[in-house]
Amino acid sequence: MAAPPITLSTTLDSTASVDEVLTRLRQLSWGPSVRWDQPTDTTLRISSGSRLRYRMLGKWAGGQHFPLSAVFHLEPHEHGTSVHFTLTNNEGWYLLQTPRGREACRARFDELLAAMSAEGIVEHR
């Protein structure tokens, strides 16, 4: 049995429109080796990091190189937009997970939440 994926998720509010939020999310600093899927009207998918680098260097690969997938689903409402943010590890198949993988995923999740708040994309929590 493979280790279950690490998934972190939250919902935040923004006073901006869906289009403004999508544009501002794309302008954030995402780090090295970012791959963007074609966004839909309300969903943005991003992959970052490197499985190869993580497998070769392990914890020494650095948190920005930890393979992750992010999904932003936006729902308009009368006062702006709800931003549903989900971050999932993407390092591939392993029999077990190391605490380092969970820590790297949590650290990147917290960094992205802080960056979205600092840039005014979402309201402070």
Is the pLDDT confidence value at 116 over 70? yes
The yes or no reply on domain 7-118 and CATH 3.90.1150.10 is: no
Predicted TM-score (pTM) of the model is 0.79
Half-sphere exposure of 96 (CA within 13 A, CB side): 3
Phi, psi of 67 (to 5 degrees): -70, 120
For residue 57, the model assigns a pLDDT of 76
In angstroms, rounded to a whole number, what is the distance separating the alpha carbons of residues 41 and 108? 25
Residue scoring higher pLDDT (39 or 89):
89
